Amino acid sequence: MFEIQRIVGPVLKGSERLFLEYTGKCPKQENQNGQTVFDLEEGTKVSFGTYFNALFPRYAEEAYGTGTYRFECEAIGNGFLSLEASEGGKEKSNLYGKEIKQGKNRISIEFEVKKGGSGFIYPVVEAKKGGLRFSSGRFLTLNNKERNGRLAVCICTFKREEYLIANLKAWAQDSEIVKRAVFYISDNGQTLKPRDLPSGCEFRLFPNPNLGGSGGFARAFLEAKDEGKCDYYLFCDDDAIVHPESIFRTLAFFDSKKDPDAYLLSGAMLDFRRPLEAVEVGAKFLIGDSRVKSFYLGANLSDSVDLDSISKAERNKNANYSAFFFTGFAERKGTDSDLYPPYFLRGDDITFGLSRSRNGVEVLTYPGLAVWHEPFYSKTNSWVEHYSYRNSGIVHLLFHEGGPWGLIRVYFVRFYIFLYTFQYENLRAALEGIHQILAGPEEFVKLDLQQKHSELMGRYTPEEVWSGQKPRTSMISKILGFLFLPVSILSLNTISIPYLRRPINRSAGALSILLDGAGASVTLDYDERREPVYIRKKDFFRSFRLALSALLTIVEVLIRHRRLSESWKREARHFSSETFWRSKLAPYR
């Protein structure tokens, strides 16, 4: 028998409904050594049927197996406690109910997790006369634990001290994490000193050159592996908020496994700007057309319908990698690890995950393994497009066994949209990234990562930002756009109405972009979830030059695809290896 998850409170304002729902007054909450104490005033009722605090039987079955589970808690005061099960979003059943009377009440409830179960199980607490204090809520499995392992939390940071220090302070308040986790911090910005970091956690700080996330995670991992104090590893981004409970559940998961190296544990990414909204809860890289499919994108994890969908765990069955904002894994001692090429950023986690999932490692997620992170839609720099197209193309060549047509289709559609909406710098960056692939792996591996990144940062012109209110489309503009749509599609929007300015919502999809941009000479590109609106102006000659360059690039990829795939697969065995990274990092260790 051992503890697998605890009833906890929020760490980020705006995320409260991922932890509890209540009627009456909001309960006061206090963290006591990793446990959250909830003080309820008379008449307050709290349900913990939420993403972080409910037990989801289907996930519990995958992680810990079927059988008998237990819920335990302490309650002081007067009230009523029940353990409920939700099925299908609306159907609920009561598994247990107990009147709580004055004094300390220790409560223990056993229930069964059966094969193929869905829904979720959770406590509900109601305070009566004099109020109620609820604490030490936790779920346990009566199955055996395999070990009491230690976790190496590997963090790559670059001048984001505020996130890192806030996380370390929160983790240091949890005695279980303090006892069982060691934090290996690769400081790519070389701005941190040990005295800058809060006390309480055991950490190792390593000044590192700016080799991107790829080099930073590799450095932290190798330092942890060489020290040999830990049984498991967790890669974790520096610009994310990570609840201590996510680390606790990672430890519980791997402790339960006879062969922990057979699993890749994937955390969910929640939107830092919209704390209830998922950016992804598991993901699949579609190798044939070189793009990521994020599961549950935009799902509101406080909504009963979305929560019920997640409880069935159907989409996550197809996950084949785990993003490095939260990735847990284990390695057999004494073996060399497969890592990833020196991408700098973007694609390292995909390569890392695909190489494992193809060798039989199972990619799993578990509710409550989550971070709040800056969402993908907020990162719109042209140099990001360079890395995205270059590195996802390399991943395609490393793992795809078929022809190029899926990749060609994606290139054609995306390049067309770039041209149609006058995103010239983004298209130029994407094409230059693909040209690096065409130059071959021998040239790629010679790149000076720091120098190349500095060049990219200065190469692409910053986009002009709209300073007025978020634009709206007038009825006249809509009519003109509709009439001009056939001409715009055929001409890549180079034949348009002079001075016509049209807003384009890039989050609405390709068809909406075509309609919104038709006939425009200037586009105001926005995403309803972010602040900046970018001004993009038509340049006929630039459209023509880039269209020709894009077409020639697509033709070259089509012609050389098979030989490129063979050469990249052959060379990747070298520059994705642990030996390669040890050699590359040796001067700095």
Do residue 32 and residue 11 come from a single domain?
yes
Count how many domains the chain has: 3
Residue 560 inside a domain? The answer is no
Do residue 450 and residue 523 come from a single domain?
yes
Do residue 98 and residue 168 come from a single domain?
no
Which residues fall within 8 angstroms of residue 509, CB to CB, at 6 or more apart?
A: none
Per the structure, the complete domain to which residue 509 belongs is given by 382-541
Long-range contacts made by residues 98-102, C-beta under 8 angstroms, separation at least 24? 100/75, 100/132, 102/77, 102/78, 102/130
pTM for the full predicted model: 0.93
Q: What is the pLDDT of residue 180?
A: 96
Q: What is the pLDDT of residue 102?
A: 83
State the residue for tokens 């269209």.
547
Residue 564 inside a domain? The answer is no
Q: What is the pLDDT of residues 525-581, one digit of tens each?
A: 887 777 788 899 999 999 999 999 999 999 999 999 999 999 999 998 899 999 999
Among 141, 173, 208, the domain boundary falls at: 141
534, exposed or middle or buried, with CB in 10 Å at 0-12, 13-18, 19+?
buried
Of 421, 395, 279, nearest to 340 by C-alpha is: 395
Of 371, 382, 277, 364, nearest to 322 by C-alpha is: 364
Do residue 313 and residue 429 come from a single domain?
no
Task: Give percent above pLDDT 90 in the chain.
Answer: 76
Residue 221, both tokens: 């991992």
pLDDT tier at 223, thresholds 50, 70, 90: very high
Q: What is the CATH number of the domain that holds 309?
A: 3.90.550.60
Q: What is the pLDDT of residue 88?
A: 65
pLDDT tier at 106, thresholds 50, 70, 90: very high
Do residue 438 and residue 355 come from a single domain?
no
Beta pairing class for 362-373 and 240-242 = antiparallel
Do residue 293 and residue 431 come from a single domain?
no
Do residue 162 and residue 227 come from a single domain?
yes
Do residue 62 and residue 118 come from a single domain?
yes
Task: Give percent above pLDDT 70 in the chain.
Answer: 98
Q: What is the pLDDT of residue 312?
A: 85
Residue 588 inside a domain? The answer is no
CB–CB of 121/138 below 8 Å?
A: no
Do residue 269 and residue 190 come from a single domain?
yes
Given a cut of 70, whether residue 475 has pLDDT beyond it is: yes
Do residue 350 and residue 409 come from a single domain?
no
Q: What is the pLDDT of residue 316?
A: 61
CB–CB of 465/533 below 8 Å?
A: yes
pLDDT tier at 378, thresholds 50, 70, 90: low
Among 111, 141, 171, the domain boundary falls at: 141
Q: What is the pLDDT of residues 11-68, one digit of tens each?
A: 999 999 999 999 999 999 998 877 899 999 999 999 999 999 999 999 999 999 999 9
**Residue 457, CA distances (Å) to 162, 383, 454 in order:** 23, 6, 5
Do residue 155 and residue 248 come from a single domain?
yes
491, exposed or middle or buried, with CB in 10 Å at 0-12, 13-18, 19+?
middle
Q: What is the pLDDT of residue 89?
A: 59
Given a cut of 70, whether residue 90 has pLDDT beyond it is: no
Q: What is the pLDDT of residue 473?
A: 77
Do residue 220 and residue 249 come from a single domain?
yes
Residue 336 inside a domain? The answer is yes
CB–CB of 162/180 below 8 Å?
A: no
Q: What is the pLDDT of residue 336?
A: 87
Among 141, 166, 181, the domain boundary falls at: 141
Q: What is the CATH number of the domain that holds 128?
A: 2.60.120.260
Residue 589, both tokens: 């260790």
Residue 72 inside a domain? The answer is yes
Residue 550 inside a domain? The answer is no
Residue 414 inside a domain? The answer is yes
Q: What is the pLDDT of residue 566?
A: 95
Q: What is the pLDDT of residues 213-222, one digit of tens each?
A: 999 999 999 9
Residue 216 inside a domain? The answer is yes
Q: What is the pLDDT of residues 149-164, one digit of tens each?
A: 999 999 999 988 888 9
Q: Between vectors from CA 300 to CA 294 and to CA 303, what angle results, nearest 5°?
A: 135
